[in-house]
Structure 1
C-alpha cells in the first residue's frame, strides 16, 4: 500500500519513499507550518535513514532555511533541541515497524503536529509546497544527545540509581548509547546486552514470547535489577523487573506521575484503569495517539497554567507538562513522547523505597493489561469488522468470549467492550501501520493474557476470512 500520512507522520515502504516524495512532504511542511527559520533533522539506525535524512536536509536548504543536522539521536532529544531554539524538526524514523519501512515525524517549534497541521500539510503538498530559494545555511549539532543526557543527570543526580545493576538491551535502538550514559550518570551499573548491526523492529506494546524468554534469561544470567530499552526511535520505553518480566507502559506512566508529584493525568482510553483507583490524580481520557494526549494536556493548562499535568500512553511514552522537581534539580517540560523519563523515574522511586520494580508495581491497584496486534491487515478491513460488531449486540456476543455478560461499550477509539467480571477487550485499527490492535484488561495477569490469546485467534479467523 502507498505511504500513509497523518499526525504520526509519513510511513511507508522504503522502496516507495522516493527522494521526490520525501522532498515534497518536507516542502509542504515548510509551507504550511511555522518553523522559526530552521529545521533540525535527526534519524534512527535503519539502513535507509541516512539517505532519507540527506534528502530532508537538501529540501530544507533548498527552501532557503537553515538545516541543523543532529545525526542519529532519540526523537525526544531532537524535539527538545529544536524546541529550545524555537525551530521546527523532522525525525527520519519508522519507529517500531519493520526495517523495510521508514518514515518522517514532523515537529513545530511548539512540539508535535496536530490534526489541523496535518490538513494544512496535505493542502500545501497539493499546491506544490514551499518554492525554491537561495540555499539555506547548514550546521551540525554534535551535542544534541549530550544535552538530553544532561537533562536527567542534572535532575536526578549521581546517586539516584546507585547500587542497581541495570541491563541495557541495545538491539538497534537509536538511544542505546544515550540510555547507557544516563544510567551511568545516575550511578547505575550498566550491563550492555545484544547490540545489533541490523535493524530490529521492537514494539514495546507487543513483545513476543521468544523475546520475553530472552529477557528473563538475561536477567538471571547477569543478576540484574532491571532491563531497560526503547523502540527504534526512543519515544517508547521497555522496562523489566529483576526477573525479566515486563512492566507495562501504563504502569510506568502512573509510577512516573506519582514520583514527579503530578496532579492531572491525561491518558488514552486504552490505558490500564488502575490509574482511576489511585488517589491524588484528576484523570482525563482521550483517543489513542500523542496528539490527543497533548490536546488534553493543553486544555488542562489553559484552565490552570500552573497545573502539574502529565500525559502517557499505553506504550509508555511519557509527556511532561510542568517543571517537575527531581532529587537534584528541575526537569523542564517536554510535551512530546519520551522514553527515558518513564525508565529513570520508576527505577529511582524503587531504589528510594528500598524495593525492586516488581514490588513497586505490585503496590498499584490490581488491574492487569495485555496487548498485541494482527499484522498485515488493512485499516479498512479492521474498521469494517469493528463497525459490524459495534452495530450488532448479537454479533458482539458471538465474537467476544469472556464467559461474562457485556456491561458497556466505549467508542472513543475503536471498540472497547466491558464485561460484568471486570474484563475489558478493545479493538482498534492502527493509525500508522496495516495492523489491527488488540488490548485486554482483567483482574489478573494470566486472565488478561488468556483473553488476549483467545481474541487474537478470533480476530485472525475473522479478518483472514474477510
Structure 2
C-alpha cells in the first residue's frame, strides 16, 4: 500500500530536521525512505514555484562520510522516479555542485553533514539560482509525498539497491576553471602553501587550483577516517598541528576547509588560524565591496574599519545572508558580498578585472577567500599576520557545548528576555555581571547578543543544525576574548 508522508510530520517522526544548512540528522535516521521523501518534496516545491524545467537534469554530489554514497543513491532514485535525470558528479565540494547547477540553470543536491561527526549526515538543496532560502524551506516542509509500494522495507531502507552511475567529472573541472581562467597562472607564484587535507571532500580540488596559479603546494594531514573539522570552533589538535607545520615547513599560509569544503580555514605564516569573521573582512576589502551582509555574531571590526558603504547585520545562516545580499543588489549595491563567522564567503556581484569576469557565486565558497587574502597580502608586501594587523583590534572567540538539545537551549535563553530591558539586564548581570559588568544593550536578532558597558560582548544561541549551544565572545584582546569564552562555557555547562 502506498505511503503518504507530510514532510513536516516526517521531520518530527524521523528527527531529521531543517536547520541553517539544509536537513540534518543521525545517519541511521536518514533512511533511504526519509531521504527519498525529502527529495521528492524538494522537486514538488520547485514544480509548484515553476522553478524546474520538465525532464531536466538534477546534479548530485556528496562528501566523504561513509553514509554519503547511500544517501546520494536515495536522492538519485527520487529524482528518477519524479521524471527527471539524476546526474551524479561524485565527491566534490558543495560550492562546485552549486556552481554547476547555477551555470546550467538546473537544481542541485549536496549530501553532506559539513563539520558534524560522521554518525550524522545531511542534505543541502539548491534551486537553479542557488541555495534554498527560508521561503523554499517552508514550501518543502508543507509537501505531502507518496512513497511507492514495495520501494522500502519496514526499516526504511530500499528493498532493491539503487546503483549510482559513474561520476560525471566535468562538474569539478568547471569549478576549478572558474578560478584558473580568471586569475593569472602566476598569481600565487612565490608562495609556499600547505593544504590541511584531513577528510575534506575538496582537498585535491584545492591543491589543483593553487598549484595551477603558481604556488608551491604541499598536502598535509590526509585522513582516511572522517574528521569533524569545524571552522568556527577549531579543535585544539588542529591548532597544534598548524603551529607545528608552520614552525618546521616554512609556509606562507595553511589552507583548509570543513567536510564539504564550502567553509574555509586559513592560517598566517606562524600557524595561527584566522577567525572566519576576520578573514571575511579582509576578503571583502580585497574584492572592493561596497555592501557587506554578515550575521550579528561577527566581529565588529567590519564597521570599525570603515571600508564599506553599508554593513547589513542578519540572523545566522547563509539563507539570511543571501536574502540580505539580494536586497542590497536590488537597491543598487555595486559589489555586494557576504560572509559568516564560520568563514563561508558569498558573492552576489561579478568581479571584473582586465576584461575578465568572475561570476557571482551566492553560496559559501572557500576558494575565493583563500585566494583573496593571499593576493591582498602579496599586493601590500605583507605577511598574512601583517595583513590582519591592519584591521582594528577586536577579537572574537567561539565555542559550543555539545549534546545540548535545541529546545532546552531556547528555553534557557528565553528566561533572559521575557520582560522589560531593566529586568532582563538584572538577570543577565546576575549570571555574567562578575565577568563583564553592566549591560548596555541586548540584541535578539538571533539568540541573545549582549553588549556590556566595558565594550565586551557575549552572544549565546542554539546551533541551527546540531544539538549544541554556541557561545561567541568579543573583546579588545585575544587573551581576554579567550578567557571570557572559557568562563562563559563553564557557567553554561551547569545549565544542563
Tell me whether the two structures share a fold, i.e. TM-score over 0.5: yes
Secondary structure class of the residue paired with 1:386: helix
Q: 1:7 to 1:38 in 2, by over 3 A?
A: farther
Aligned to 1:345: 372
Matched, 1:81 2:100: yes
Distance 2:187 2:246 in 1: 21
Cα deviation, 1:282-341, whole Å, max 9, x if unaligned, reads 11111111111011011111112x621001111110111111135783211001111111
Aligned to 1:21: 34
Cα deviation, 1:116-174, whole Å, max 9, x if unaligned, reads 211111111x3538999xx9x97853111111111112222122211111110000000
Is the contact made by 1:321 and 1:334 (CA closer than 8 Å) also made in structure 2? Answer: yes
Distance 2:275 2:234 in 1: 10
Aligned to 2:68: 49
Is the contact made by 1:312 and 1:319 (CA closer than 8 Å) also made in structure 2? Answer: yes
Secondary structure class of the residue paired with 1:364: coil
Matched, 1:289 2:317: yes
Structural mapping, 1:9-408, within 5 Å = 9-33=22-46, 34-36=51-53, 37-124=56-143, 126-128=144-146, 140-281=167-308, 282-304=310-332, 307-326=334-353, 329-391=356-418, 392-400=424-432, 401-408=434-441
Q: 1:445 to 1:243 in 2, by over 3 A?
A: same
Is the contact made by 1:169 and 1:228 (CA closer than 8 Å) also made in structure 2? Answer: yes
Distance 1:334 1:43 in 2: 19
TM-score between the two structures when normalised by the length of structure 2: 0.89
Secondary structure class of the residue paired with 2:193: strand
Q: 1:327 to 1:452 in 2, by over 3 A?
A: farther
Distance 1:127 1:94 in 2: 24
Secondary structure class of the residue paired with 2:410: helix
Matched, 1:412 2:445: yes
Aligned to 1:427: 460
Secondary structure class of the residue paired with 1:21: helix
Is the contact made by 1:10 and 1:105 (CA closer than 8 Å) also made in structure 2? Answer: yes
Q: 1:307 to 1:78 in 2, by over 3 A?
A: same
Is the contact made by 1:167 and 1:192 (CA closer than 8 Å) also made in structure 2? Answer: yes
Distance 1:128 1:399 in 2: 50
Is the contact made by 1:155 and 1:328 (CA closer than 8 Å) also made in structure 2? Answer: no
Distance 1:399 1:182 in 2: 49
Secondary structure class of the residue paired with 2:181: helix
Q: 1:146 to 1:47 in 2, by over 3 A?
A: same
After TM superposition, the structure 1 stretch with the greater mean CA deviation from structure 2, 146-155 or 68-77, is 146-155
Distance 1:122 1:266 in 2: 27
Secondary structure class of the residue paired with 2:435: coil
After TM superposition, the structure 1 stretch with the greater mean CA deviation from structure 2, 260-269 or 6-15, is 6-15
Secondary structure class of the residue paired with 2:437: coil
TM-score between the two structures when normalised by the length of structure 1: 0.95
Distance 1:268 1:157 in 2: 33
The alpha-carbon deviation at position 208 of structure 1 amounts to 2.2
Distance 1:59 1:139 in 2: 18
Q: 1:331 to 1:410 in 2, by over 3 A?
A: same
Distance 1:348 1:244 in 2: 18
Cα deviation, 1:74-95, whole Å, max 9, x if unaligned, reads 0000000011111001100000
Unaligned runs of 5+ in 1: none
The alpha-carbon deviation at position 182 of structure 1 amounts to 1.1
Secondary structure class of the residue paired with 1:373: strand
Unaligned runs of 5+ in 2: 1-13, 151-161, 419-423
Is the contact made by 1:379 and 1:434 (CA closer than 8 Å) also made in structure 2? Answer: yes
